[in-house]
Amino acid sequence: MKKVGIIGGTGYTGGELARILCVHPDIEIKAMTSRQNAGKKVSDVQTYLKGYLDIEYTENISNAKDLDLVFVATPHGVAMKETPALVASGTKVIDMSGDYRLLDPAQYKKWYGHDHTDTENLKDSVYGLPEFFRPQIKKANVVANPGCYPTATILAVAPLLISKAVSTDIIVDAKSGTSGAGMVPSPRTHHPFCGETIIPYSVGTHRHTPEMEFVLGTVSKSETKILFTPHLLPVIRGILSTCYLTLIKDMTNDEIAKIYEKQYKNEPFVQFTDEPSIRAVVCSNHAQVNAKVFGNKVVAFGAIDNLVKGASGQAVQCANLMLGLKETAGLMTPGMGV
């Protein structure tokens, strides 16, 4: 049984990690941190875990050397402070924030507004999207768990870019449930403001833009340019990413479908389906993708649960690979459907 800890155990991603891992057949949660709730039982704070997780929150991880892996589920800027000591103790790390997603410290400073203080681990970190970086994840000590919007978008468009079927200028119109904004409420996520509307935000300034460009450029070996507009959708969970690309040559829908089938035929969590749906993937680690041809354009779709395949489920998928476990362990559950 592998032993893990969670730093930041009371946020949505930390709680979702606990929900998935408390029934994992090969992983045991030995520690969860929360400064505000230190000394309280986890199941008294997150009551959906009653009967599943019988440990108390601690203020810090005090026994890192006894843990095989630690998830850092904190806002950006925290993981780079925690990771060096964890790695030095021999513990593997999965960062749920953006601290290790951009390998260029200058790019990190540009988009996150402060210097990166752990460039040593940054240069060796691996992007945690198993469908494209599985061999590297297996050997990694530090994995950068992908952002939710990038996960849906990369899965949707990467096959087209890899096959050189499309040009590299991409328009991404993506919509996310309110849980993607995190647990701390804001005027924008206050229900009377967002409950019956769709709100575009961070247009041209969203931090997931350079992440998508960097990863898509890496997997396709070509420089990509993305115009990204995120929207807040009045649902709790889920992301639908709609991506517009230009075909380099005439192609049919059947030819496009074969590109996806070739790319994802052996992937347990990616399904090429006619109508990707948020409800079909909510509460699961599955992603649904599709693409349709319209003249010289192709529209690609990606649907995920932002808290599972877009965050905690994907982190568990990476942890399974890093710890030498079956990749699908603890994750093979279907979406809600309704």
pLDDT in tens, 316-331: 999 999 999 999 999 9
> Residue 44 belongs to what H/E stretch?
helix 42-45
Catalytic positions, written as ranges? 148
Domain 2-124 architecture: 3-Layer(aba) Sandwich (3.40)
Alpha carbon of residue 242 to chain centroid: 17
Whose tokens are 């991409």? That residue is 170
* Structural tokens at position 219: 């997997």
pLDDT band at 183 (very low <50, low <70, confident <90, very high): low
Dump pLDDT digits (tens) for 92-124.
Answer: 999 999 999 999 999 999 999 999 999 999 999
Specify the pLDDT at position 179: 86
256 band by pLDDT with thresholds 50, 70 and 90: very high
If you average pLDDT over residues 136-157, what whole number do you get? 98
Instruction: Report the distance separating Cα 55 and Cα 221, nearest Å.
Output: 46
Nearest to 141 by CA among 68, 200, 49: 68
Per CATH, the architecture of 148-306 is what?
2-Layer Sandwich (3.30)
Confidence of residue 191 (pLDDT cuts 50, 70, 90): confident
Q: Where are the domains of the chain?
A: 2-124, 148-306
Per-residue pLDDT at 80 exceeds 70:
yes
